[in-house]
């Protein structure tokens, strides 16, 4: 099953978003040639992490230029699309009901990028069932999935290079929710 990765950025995250979309496209076209062209990913990233990108269809919900936009509007688009898609596919009326199901089992996740990542994360977390995580390295990205079952990854476009951002995205899309004691904690978030 192909899953949706709803992606949005404001003008502060626009360049990083384009870089990530290009990297995703390169990997899905040819994993082996991608690693040869980008040796910075070879040692820390498994081939399976790259191959998993073929399971995701990136859907760019804006912005589409460097013109100033309100990050809140973009975050709203991503959240509403993610909620609609996941509740429709699971036949549940809200994402709270699936908060302890590993988000990797659901049909959609989100990626939001703004200048600092803070504004997008704050707006996204206003939505019931959304657990948006502001991430700045691979370890935090993995923990946001493993311990918090995050369903939206937020990145700081002005403070993160494309290599780090791409590694964070790969960890986010490949780290399962640990469940167990973390399930009870995630239930209390909602």
Break the chain into its structural domains and give their ranges.
3-189
pTM: 0.89
Q: What is the pLDDT at residue 80? A: 97
| 147 catalytic residue (yes or no) | yes
Reduced 3-state DSSP string for the chain: CCEEEEEEECCCCHHHHHHHHHHHHHHHHCHHHHHHHCHHHCCCCCHHHHHHHHHEEEEECCCCCCCCCCHHHHHHHHHHHHHHHHHHHHCCCCHHHHCCCCHHHCCEEEEEEECCCHHHHHHHCCCCCCCEEECCCHHHHHHHHHCCCCCEEEEECCCCCHHHHHHHHHHHHHCCCCCCHHHHHHHHHC
Q: What is the pLDDT at residue 180? A: 78
Catalytic residue among 11, 38, 147, 182: 147
Domain 3-189 sits in CATH at 3.40.1400.10
pLDDT along the chain (190 residues), means of 10: 95 98 83 58 62 87 96 98 87 65 91 98 96 97 96 98 96 91 80
Q: What is the pLDDT at residue 130? A: 94
């Amino acid at each position: 099953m192909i899953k949706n990765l709803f992606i949005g950025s404001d003008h502060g995250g626009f360049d990083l978003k384009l870089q990530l979309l290009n990297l995703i496209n390169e990997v899905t076209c040819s994993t082996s040639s991608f690693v040869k062209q980008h040796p910075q990913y070879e040692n820390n990233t498994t081939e399976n992490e790259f191959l998993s990108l073929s399971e995701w269809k990136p859907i760019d919900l804006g912005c589409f230029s460097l013109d100033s936009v309100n990050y809140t509007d973009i975050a709203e688009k991503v959240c509403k699309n993610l909620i609609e898609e996941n509740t429709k596919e699971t036949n549940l009326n809200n994402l709270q009901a699936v908060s302890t199901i590993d988000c990797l089992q659901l049909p959609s996740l989100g990626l939001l990028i703004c200048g600092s990542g803070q504004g997008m994360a704050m707006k996204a977390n206003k939505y019931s069932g959304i657990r948006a995580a502001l991430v700045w390295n691979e370890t935090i990205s993995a923990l946001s999935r493993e311990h918090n079952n995050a369903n939206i990854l937020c990145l700081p476009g002005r403070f993160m290079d494309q290599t780090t951002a791409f590694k964070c995205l790969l960890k986010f899309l490949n780290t399962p929710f640990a469940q167990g004691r973390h399930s009870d904690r995630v239930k209390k978030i909602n």
